[in-house]
A and B are shown apart, each in its own frame.
Chain A
Amino acid sequence: AAGVIQSPRHLIKEKRETATLKCYPISRHDTVYWYQQGPGQDPQFLISFYEKMQSDKGSIPDRFSAQQFSDYHSELNMSSLELGDSALYFCASSLGGDQPQHFGDGTRLSIL
């Protein structure tokens, strides 16, 4: 069975630009989560959606926004990019909010 698909795998942007990361959850999974993993750090929860509604919010900067669409895929929109936004961004999905989360391979975002 296909896992969580994230695109793009790698993205290079300059400061003050915008970026959009996409996440396609496992089939029938209704909950998606976004995490940010800085170099040498553990993943930090950003935001999650259940049935297309935001369900929890973590340490997501105001410059970032996200949404979940009718087909359950999700997009993370990032504006006014800063050097400190360089990180690996993971999406995870689960069937319901209290079930094991399965992660995608991540999008590596580099800000020049």
Chain B
Amino acid sequence: DTAVSQTPKYLVTQMGNDKSIKCEQNLGHDTMYWYKQDSKKFLKIMFSYNNKELIINETVPNRFSPKSPDKAHLNLHINSLELGDSAVYFCASKGDNEQFFGPGTRLTVL
């Protein structure tokens, strides 16, 4: 069974569109994250939720809105997509010591 899963794996869309990425973990962890990895491979935290509560919100445009319906899910909705949003988005969940990453969603904005 996949510990952290994301859908879709690839997302190609036009500028100005709204899209969502879904994430689910079956590890029973309380804390989940969204990271963005840009073309230079720099992996940067965007949001963190602990048991459905937002605890980290880095300086991310408010076009990005995370939603956690329950502690096993953390979805990311992006409004009015821009070219600069093209990146790989990783979801992660945190155990005692280790963060487990999902396989990533490669977003391309045309």
- Real complex partners, A and B? no
Binding site for B on A (CB under 8 A): none
Binding site for A on B (CB under 8 A): none
